Structure formats: structure tokens, C-alpha cells
Amino acid sequence: MDKVISYLKDNYNDYIDELKEYISIPSISTSSENKNDMKVCADFVKAKLEAAGMNKTEIFETEGHPIVYGEWLEAPGKPTVLIYGHYDVQPVDPIDLWDSPPFEAEIKDNKIYARGANDNKGQNFVHIKSVEAFFNTHGKLPLNVKFIIEGEEEIGSPNLEKFLATQKELLKCDAVLISDTSMYGPGIPTVSYGLRGLAFMEVFVTGPNRDLHSGSFGGSVANPINELARMISRLIDENGVIQIPGFYDDVVEMTELELDNIKKLAFDDDAYAKELDVKELHGEKGFNTLQRLWARPTLDCNGIVGGYTGEGAKTVLPSKASAKISMRLVPNQTPEKIGELFEAYFRQIAPEHIKVEVKALHGGKPVVVPLESKAMSAAAVAVSKAFGRETVFTREGGSIPIVVEFVEQLEAPAILMGLGLDTDNIHSPNEHFSLESFHQGMIASAYFIEEFAK
Ligand code: BES
Ligand code: MN
């Protein structure tokens, strides 16, 4: 093991250069303009898996973006770990808020700044390099490894889900290892055991059949923006309670053990508020911040469009308005049922004088995995060794829709060995990843392989 660790240390600068190259490919999955970059990026990942010692690699084309697969299965009788990650990244806008170009990685204060630096290129590259270090020092791995690096996580993994259903044998494993979440704090080794799910809706409100002069018509006919705003405000009350009938029916409360764990984590509300520059925190009454983030569902308007938003004034009474609204879900809520309840309520509160259309966009189920498994223990030991202190266990507020499919369809525990920080600006300008995490993450990955092989 010492050889692997010192090999990782010795080659650290080369890994940063390779990560920079990975990051320079603008693999934005939502953007049709970047379709070819997705292919380039998939090829890049495949080549890296080969270089890391995988003796079979393959690119699986899908209706969307390609899935990259690699395996090395020459440790008979040893467990198999499936390492999952995604090579697609979020769009970069608003581009003017970036301090350096999003696809030209820049290193500042021991952090690497670029789109995808954390989410998820930096985090999945860690595992490719730890595997490579085993091959370059021992010529083999102490267990079997499969990699699945997809290009559609940021759009809800529609094609990986289909792929999984038909490729259970190929992906069969004893545990799924994923680094695509956050550590509890800088340098705090963390293993997460839960993710929230997501129901994403788009609503359209139509008033008159065309845009009108707000003087000639204002006061005689409903303004769809006013009406939409009123409807949105009826979705959630001032105590953070979502008003959709039946919304909370399937919510599973945290266990005593989990609540104890939260107490021990001693979350600092004041520091959190200060970092976000808000006077006080706000959320569902009766729950603490970590409960709200990990175990309570939420409803947020993510965007609202309508009328005139250009320079200066334009006295228009618009014909249409629309909004995107997402709900984070917790066990045992499902995006299907929540989507239906949302639509029923939204239609119910719509006044007669407007037309309403409701569309469900992609979603994902929430997941909580048992804390007792060999893989979970191996991960806890691994990060603790790498970061030099005791591991904490967290749930996450974010979503990785494919995880629940791994758990249910492959019947394997999913281990969320996150290396990011919530302050890394993922999905936002100036995304970055701590090089300390990058470095210790490779070491943690190597320890996981060693521990899980036992
Ligand atoms: N890596 C994130 C998820 C994440 C971030 C989990 C931080 C925990 C902490 C992932 O790439 C992501 O952004 N997922 C989306 C999923 C959605 C687009 C279906 C999300 O959570 O919004
Ligand atoms: Mn993301």
C-alpha cells in the first residue's frame, strides 16, 4: 500500500495536468451545440480507463450521450466494485460572473477553478488515478473493478436508466462507489448514506390571446404574471410548509439514531448564514438545518419568465407567463405521485380567467442506504485514513437520480464518498475543487480498494 500512496504523491503534478485536459472539453449535456464535445469527452475517458489498466473498455452509444464502460476482472474470488461518475457538466452561464474562462482551468489558493472541476470530473478522475497507481506499482488490483462514467447525469440519466435495466449482468457488483457529493466540511472525511429525489415541473399560464397595451386593456383582463405569482405564493406558506394536499403523506421521519448523529455534528447555523450573507436562515418550522436539508422535502421556484424584461419600460400586459418549479423529495415520496399531486393542486388554485398547462420534466427517486455494510465500513476507514481524522456520516440535499436504480436493480449498496465542498460553487460561476481533496481523494480511493478487497 505504501508504494501506491507514494506513487500517487510522486505523480501528483501530472494528474493535475491531465485533469486540466479533461476539464478543457466543454461537455455540457444540456446543450445541443456541444453534442460533439460529448463524444470527444467520452473518448477521453475511455483512453484514460485504458491507460489506468482496464483490460476491456467500451463506449455504449445511446439515444443521448455515450456511456463509457471499463473493467478489470482478474481477481477471482474477490469482490467487485462498480465506480460510477459523470463526465457531463452544467452550462456556464452567467458567463460574465466567472473570474477565469470556465473551460481553462486555473489554479489559485490550491484550488482548481473550472466548470466540472468538482462536479464531476475532478471527483471521478480521482478513482481512475488510484486504480492506475495500483497497476503501475503492483501490476494488478486486489479486487475486481468496473467503471461506468456517463454523460447525462445533469439531465437526469434517462439513458443510463434504460441501459441499467438491460445490462444487469455487465454491471453486476458488490458495491457501487461514487464521489459526487460533499464533505461535511473542509478536511472532514465524510461518507453519505442518502440523497434527496427530485420532481421538476414547468407551468404555463395564459391570459389574453396576445400581448396587449397595459393602458388600453389593463384592468379589464387578467395579467398572467400577476396570477402566476399569486399561484406560486400559494404553493408554500410562510412557515415553509408546502400546501399541496397529500404532499407529506409518504415522508419517512429520521430515526433516533440519525437525530443523535445530527446533534453530534453540531451544525453551525450562524457561520452558515454568515457565509451566505443572510441575516437569518429560513426553512420549514420545527426542524433544524440538517434535517431540513437531508430529510425534509422542499419546493422552490427555479425560474420565472414573462412579459418585458429588456431595457427601460414597456407598458405591456402579457399574454403568457411560465415558471420552473422543483421539489426535492425524501423517502418514500416518488416523483410520479408528487408530480400528480402538484398538478392537481395547481389546477385547483387556478382562477377561471386564465388557462393553465403543467408539464413534468425529469425527476428522480430519493434514496437512503443502510449504514451497515462491508462497503460502507471500508469507505469510512478509507476516508478516515486519507484525511487523518474520524469519519462523519451525512445525508445529502442534492440528487443523483441513478443511485436508487443501482441500489434497487443491482441490489448493491451505494457508497457516497464525496470529496467536494458545498462552498465549491457547483452549477454556479467559479466552480472549483480543492487540490487537497483531489490529492487525498486519490489516497482515499486507494485505501477503499485495499479495505474492500479484504
Ligand atoms: N453532484 C450533484 C449532486 C449533489 C451535489 C449531491 C452536492 C450532493 C451535494 C449532481 O451532479 C447534481 O447536480 N444533480 C442534480 C440532479 C438533477 C439534475 C436530476 C441535482 O441535484 O440538481
Ligand atoms: Mn451537478
- % of the chain exceeding 70 in pLDDT: 100
Residues 79 and 171 occupy one common structural domain: yes
Same domain, 383 and 341: no
Asked whether residue 276 is domain-assigned, the answer is: no
**Are 114 and 137 part of one and the same domain?**
yes
Which-ligand-closest: CA of 158?
Answer: 1
Name the domain boundary from 328, 345, 364: 364
| Tens-place pLDDT, residues 250-261 | 999 999 999 999
Whether residue 130 sits in one domain with residue 41: yes
Report which ligand 1 atom has the smallest distance to the Cα of 396. Answer: 8
* Same domain membership, residue 163 and residue 94: yes
How large is the average pLDDT for residues 159-170? 96
Does 74 reside within a domain?
A: yes
Q: Are residues 426 and 310 in the same domain?
A: no
Chain-centre distance for alpha carbon 396? 9
Q: What pLDDT does residue 362 have? A: 84
Instruction: Say if ligand 1 is within 6 A of residue 386 CB.
Output: no
User: Domain ends where: 327, 344, 364?
Assistant: 364
Q: Give tens-digit pLDDT for 344-386.
A: 999 999 999 999 999 999 899 999 999 999 999 999 999 999 9
- Looking at the fold, whether 371 and 349 belong to one and the same domain comes out as no
In short, whether 198's Cβ falls inside 6 Å of ligand 1 is yes
How close is the Cα of 95 to the center of ligand 2, in Å?
Answer: 17
Q: Are residues 436 and 360 in the same domain?
A: no
401 lines ligand 1 (CB under 6 A): yes
Q: What is the mean pLDDT of residues 312-333?
A: 98
CATH code of the domain covering residue 210: 3.30.70.360
Ligand 1 centroid from CA 322, angstroms = 24
For residue 18, is it within any domain?
yes
- Over residues 110-134, the pLDDT tens digits come to 999 999 999 999 999 999 999 999 9
**Which residue has the least CA distance to atom 13 on ligand 1?**
154
Q: What is the model's pTM?
A: 0.94
Average pLDDT rounded to a whole number, residues 210-219: 98
pLDDT at 413: 97
Q: What is the mean pLDDT of residues 185-195?
A: 98
Question: Do 76 and 218 lie in a common domain?
Answer: no
The residue whose CA is least distant from atom 16 of ligand 1 is 399
- Atom nearest to 427 CA in ligand 1: 13
Ligand 1 atom having least distance to the Cα of 155: 18
Which residue range is the domain that position 140 belongs to? 2-195+366-453
The CB of 153 under 6 Å from ligand 1? The reply is yes
Say yes or no: CB of residue 376 within 6 Å of ligand 1.
no
- Does residue 42 share a domain with residue 170? yes
pLDDT-based confidence at residue 433 (cuts at 50, 70, 90): very high
How high is the pLDDT of residue 446? 98
Residue 262: inside a domain, yes or no? no
Residues designated as active site: 88, 153
CA distance 302 to 325: 6
Q: Does residue 275 lie in a domain region?
A: no
Q: Is 399 in the pocket of ligand 1 (CB under 6 A)?
A: yes
Q: Kindly state whether residues 141 and 113 are assigned to the same domain.
A: yes
Residue 291 maps to a domain: no
Residue 42 and residue 182 in one domain:
yes
* CATH of residue 188: 3.40.630.10
Question: Is 268 within a domain?
Answer: no
CA-nearest residue for atom 20, ligand 1, is: 399
Q: Average pLDDT over the chain, rounded to whole?
A: 97
Domain count, the chain: 2
Whether residue 28 is contained in a domain is answered as yes
Which of 364, 386, 408 marks a domain boundary? Answer: 364
Distance CA 84, CA 400 (A): 11
Q: What is the pLDDT of residues 261-284, one digit of tens each?
A: 999 999 999 999 999 999 999 999
Q: What is the mean pLDDT of residues 421-429?
A: 97
